[in-house]
Amino acid sequence: MTPDQWLLAKAKADPVGMSELAERCRLRLTRPPLSKVDHLKALRRSGLTQFGDFLASR
């Protein structure tokens, strides 16, 4: 199972919790801070395309 598949499985099991977790992680990024759009782009660039799509749909 890839990291993307694992995160997506966790997100499907607890969509609200994983969305909130991803947002808390994004807000902790301060050097540089990332907008939601930039955070999604970064996730997708790092290979987390399915998880990024999930977060974009929330």
Rounded-to-integer distance, Cα 8 and Cα 31, Å? 27
Confidence of residue 6 (pLDDT cuts 50, 70, 90): very high
27 Cα distance to chain centroid: 12
Mean pLDDT, residues 19-45 taken together? 95
Mean pLDDT, residues 14-26 taken together? 97
Q: Which residues contact 26 (CB under 8 A, 6 or more apart)?
A: 34, 36, 39
Domain ranges of the chain: 3-56
Is the model's pTM score more than 0.85?
Answer: yes
